[in-house]
Amino acid sequence: MCVAAVAAVLSACGPGASDSAAAARYTSDLQTISDAIATAAGFGKEAIEMTSSRVRLRIAIRDLQLAGADPSARNDAAAKIVASAEKILAAHPEFASLEQISVAVIHATARGGAENDWHTEDVVEFRRGPNQRFTVHIS
């Protein structure tokens, strides 16, 4: 899964062995957090995949019903996912420096295509504001 690959890369960037224990905890926490966000937002655990750096969190969601919904429904779902993430991440100080959360709704490339044949169709960006809450960012 992508979470393990990202964690391996992040742990390789650390300066020493003392960071490897923190990286291992971060890896297991990321999967636990991803599962909690999916559940809180009303999606199956397998629907959400997360990657993170110290300042940016990316949440990819694969849900056929959501992918087929209108843009307003997808934006509402993204806002619900971010609200769930904010609540859950509040208990994890390692995410205190996040500045941006993006939610990518993943769509199948074409009807009848291979199940693993996906591409990103819609990404909604959220930035941390002065009130420390994440709001939709329009560039």
The answer to whether 126 touches 136, Cβ cutoff 8 Å, is yes
Laid out side by side, the sheet with 48-52 consists of 48-52, 56-62, 100-108, 118-128, 134-136
Let me know if domain 2-136 sits in CATH 1.10.3470.
no
- pLDDT tens-digit series, residues 14-31: 444 445 555 445 555 888
Instruction: Delimit the domains of the chain by residue range.
Output: 2-136
Q: Kindly report, residue by residue over 70-83, the tens digit of the pLDDT.
A: 999 999 999 999 99
pLDDT of residue 75: 93
Indicate the range of 32-46, 50-64, 116-130 predicted with least confidence: 116-130
Per-position b or e across 90-109, b if 16+ CB within 10 A of its CB: eeeeebeebeebbbbbbbbe
What's the rounded mean pLDDT across residues 62-71?
Answer: 89
